[in-house]
Amino acid sequence: MKNDFQHFLESLRVRQDKKISLKKDFRTNYSEKIIDKKEGEEKLAEGIENIARLQDKLYAYNGFSILIILQAMDAAGKDSAIKHVMSSLNPRGVQVTSFKVPSAEELSHDFLWRHVRALPPRGQIGIHNRSHYENVLVTRVHPEYVLTSNLPTINSLDDINEDFWQERFRQINRFEKNLSENGTVIIKFFLNLSKAEQKNRFLERIDNPKKNWKFSLEDVKEREHWDKYIRAYEAMLPATSTKHSPWYVIPADDKWFAHLCISTIADRVFGNLKSEYPVPDEEKKKGLAQAKKSLLAEGKKKKK
C-alpha cells in the first residue's frame, strides 16, 4: 500500500521538456483504491505532525530555506491547502505571501523583483500563493498586461511571440537554479482542478453567505479563458520542471486527497534535507555547564 502510494505520487511529477496534455496525462480526481479517505486523513495528520518536527530542525540548523509554490485555477483550493497542510507550522518560521496585481512600483522593476523580496531567509519556510509564474500564465492569456511593464524590447503585442515566452522560461529556470545552489529548496504544486468542479465551487460560494466574500465576478470572466489557461500551463510546466525545482500536478477535485498528496511530498522533501540540531562545541559546552551550575546554586542560596 505504501509503495503503491509513493509510486502514484511520483507519477504526479512533471518531466522536464516532455510535452504534456493535462487532460490525458494527469487527472483531476482520485479514483484509485490505493488509500481510502479515513486512512488518508490519518496519514495526513501524521505527515502534518512530522513536517512540524522537521521545521524545528530546519529553523535550528539555519542552513537551508524552503520555498513552496502553489499555482492553480480559481477555486482550486490553494488557501485550503495552506490552512490544512501547514497548520502545525511554527508561525515564527513561516511566511505566506499572496501575490495580487502588481503595483506601479513593482511594474517599474523586472518581473522577478517582487518575488525575490518575498523569499524566505535561511531556516524558514516561504509559501507563495501564486508566484512569479503568473508572468507566464496570466500574461500569456492576457499579453496586453506585458505592455504595462514598459520593457525596452516590447513595443506592441506583435513583439510578444513564442521566443518571448521561451526566454521567460529560461529566466525563471536560471533564477530557481541560483536559489537552489544557494540553499533554497523549491517545491512546486499545480492544483489540477476540473472545469466542472470549479463551477460547483463557484456556485457554493454564491449560495453560501459565509463564502460570498470569496467570490468575484472577475473569476467568472477568467473562466471564459479556461482553454487558454490550460494551454499556458501545458507549455509552462514541462519547460520549468527541473531536477532542482520540480512541478507536481496534484488532483484537486477531492480536497482531502490533494492535501494528502501535498503533505506527503513536502514531508519527503523536508526529510531529505541534511538539517540537524547544532552540536555545541567545547566552549559552548563549558558555558552550558557553568550556567547549569549557577542555576542549581541559586536554589541552594534561597534555602539558606
Whole-angstrom distance between the N-terminal and C-terminal Cα of the chain? 64
185 contacts 273 by C-beta, under 8 angstroms: yes
Query: DSSP states of 259-303 as a string?
Result: HHHHHHHHHHHHHHS---PPPP-HHHHHHHHHHHHHHHHHHHHHH
CA-based nearest residue to 203, from 184, 185, 223, 189: 223
pLDDT at 116: 98
Q: Encode pLDDT of 125-162 as tens digits.
A: 999 999 999 999 999 999 999 999 999 999 999 999 99
pLDDT at position 73 is 97
Q: Each residue of 1-48: pLDDT tens digit?
A: 567 888 999 999 999 999 999 999 999 998 777 888 899 999 999 999
Handedness of CA 232, 261, 95, 219 (dihedral sign): positive
**Amino acid 30: pLDDT:** 85
Q: For 53-62, 73-82, 189-198, which range has the lowest pLDDT when averaged over its residues?
A: 53-62
Nearest to 191 by CA among 254, 236, 107: 254
pLDDT band at 299 (very low <50, low <70, confident <90, very high): low
Picking from 39-48, 117-126, 256-265, which range would have the lowest pLDDT averaged per residue? 39-48
pLDDT of residue 301: 60
The pLDDT assigned to 274 comes to 83
Q: What is the pTM of this model?
A: 0.91
Q: What is the distance between the alpha carbons of residues 92 and 133, in angstroms, rounded to a whole number?
A: 26
**Mean pLDDT calculated for residue range 115-132:** 96
What does the block give as the cell for 223? 473562466
Q: Residue 129: give its domain's CATH number.
A: 3.40.50.300
Q: What share of the chain in percent tops pLDDT 70?
A: 97
The residues facing 70 across adjacent strands are: 129, 189
Q: Locate 109 and state its grid cell.
A: 522593476
The pLDDT, as a whole number, for residue 277 is 85
Look-up of cell digits 501535498: 262
Q: Provide the mean pLDDT of the chain.
A: 93
Q: Per-residue pLDDT for 85 more than 60? A: yes
What domain range is 211 assigned to? 2-303
Number of compact structural domains in the chain:
1
Angle of CA points 121, 54, 127, to nearest 5°: 45
Residue range 200-216, pLDDT digits in tens: 999 999 999 999 999 99
pLDDT band of 93, cuts 50, 70, 90:
very high
